[in-house]
Structure 1
Amino acid sequence: MTRTPISRSAREGYRKVVELDNYIADALGPDLMNLVYLRASFLNGCNYCVDSHSTDLRTGGMPERKIVSVSTWEESTFFTERERLALELTDDVTDIAGGVSDDLWARAEAEFGEKGLGDLILAIGTIAIWNRIGISTHLPTPPLEN
C-alpha cells in the first residue's frame, strides 16, 4: 500500500520539524547531530534514517569504522568522551521509561552546559519524530549504488 508522505499531508507541521532539524544542526554541528541521529535510529529500528545518517557521516569524512561502531559505542575506542556522553544520553532518552539518571544529567550538563544539554535532548526528540515518520509511512531506502 502506498502511503501519503507526511510532507504532503501535514505540510506545515512537517516544515516545523525541518526547522527544528536545522536549528539542531547549527547548535550541535553536523557530526555530533548525525552520530546522535544514527544511534537513535538504530535503537528505534528506522532503516531509512540509519542509511541517511550513516551516509551523511560518511560524506562528511567520518571513518567507516567509526560509523559502524555507533551500534556498539560502549565497547569502541573510536569516540571522544564528548561523543560517548552524547551517545549515552541518546540511549537513555530514546528508551525513556527508566528516565535519565541524576549522574548522567550532571555529567552531560557539565560537558555541554545547560543550553547544550537542552539542544541534545531536542535532537534526540527530533530524530524520534523522523524515525516514526519513516517507519509508519514505510519510507523507502534509496537503492545501493554500484
Structure 2
Amino acid sequence: MVGSAPPTSEDDVMDARFNLFDNEIALTFAKRFANAALIIQQSPLPHSLQELVSLRASQINGCGHCVDMHVKEAAAAGESAVRLHLVAAWRESTVFTEAERAALALTEEGTRLADAHEGVSDATWARAREHFDDDRIGALVCLIAMINAANRLAVITHQKGGGYEAGQFAAALD
C-alpha cells in the first residue's frame, strides 16, 4: 500500500508540521494519489513484494511513518517477521527469492537516483526483466515512483512512525 495515513494520536498531530488530511487541496491530492496506487495494488505484482519494495524505499528515505505503515500492512498480510527484519540487509540474507532480490535492487537504484550518474544500471534493469513480464515491471516501476513520492510527502510534513494500524490508510480514504 502506498500513501500516508492521517495522524493517529494527539502526539502525532502535535509533531507533524502539516496534516495533509485537514487541507482540501492536499486531501484531494491524497485521494487521487491513492486511486493511482490502487492500479498498482490490483496489478499482478504480488502484494507481498509490493510491501517489501515500499518498505525498502521508505527505509532508504528515512520515512518513519511509511516504514511503520508498510511493516504493519505486510505483517497483517502474513509476511514473516524474519523477512521484514532483513529487508534492510537483503543482500546479506537468504530469505528472499531471486525475483524479490531483483526488485529490491531496482528499488534501491530507483530510489537513489542522485547517487549514480546513470540512475538505474543496465545490469539491474536486465536482472529485473528476467523475473518480471511487462505488466509486473510496469507495476514495479510505478510502485517505486509512488512510494518515493509518498515518502517525500510524509518526510516534508514531518509525519511520525509508530501510531499506524493496519488498514488505516484505506479506511481514511473511504
- What is the TM-score normalised by the length of structure 2? 0.76
Counterpart Cα distance in 2 of 1:144 and 1:125: 22
1:135 is aligned, of 155, 158, 174, to 155
Identify the residue that residue 106 of structure 1 maps to in structure 2: 126
Relative CO higher for 1 or 2, CA cutoff 8 Å, sep ≥ 6?
A: 2
Query: For 1:14-33, what aligned pairs fall within 5 Å after superposition?
Result: 14-27=30-43, 28-33=45-50
Q: Percent identity?
A: 37
Conservation of the 8 A alpha-carbon contact between 1:109 and 1:116: no
Sort the Cα spacing of 1:18 and 1:144 in 2 relative to 1 into closer, same or farther, 3 A.
closer
Identify the residue that residue 36 of structure 1 maps to in structure 2: 53
Classify the secondary structure of the residue corresponding to 1:77: coil
Counterpart Cα distance in 2 of 1:18 and 1:65: 29
Counterpart Cα distance in 2 of 1:47 and 1:85: 24
* Structure 2: 5+ residue stretches without partners: 1-14, 166-174
Query: Given residue 5 of structure 1, which amino acid in structure 2 is its aligned partner?
Result: N
- What is the TM-score normalised by the length of structure 1? 0.90
* Structure 1: 5+ residue stretches without partners: none
CA-based RMSD: 1.9
Conservation of the 8 A alpha-carbon contact between 1:3 and 1:137: yes
Give the number of the structure whose residues are more often helix, by fraction. 1
Identify the residue that residue 52 of structure 1 maps to in structure 2: 69
How many angstroms does 1:144 deviate by? 8.9
How many residue pairs get matched? 145
Moved more, 136-145 or 126-135: 136-145
1:66 is aligned, of 80, 83, 86, to 83
Identify the residue that residue 96 of structure 1 maps to in structure 2: 113
After superposition, the C-alpha distances for 1:4-57 in whole angstroms (9 at most, x for unaligned) are 322334233222210121111111232111100000000000001101101111
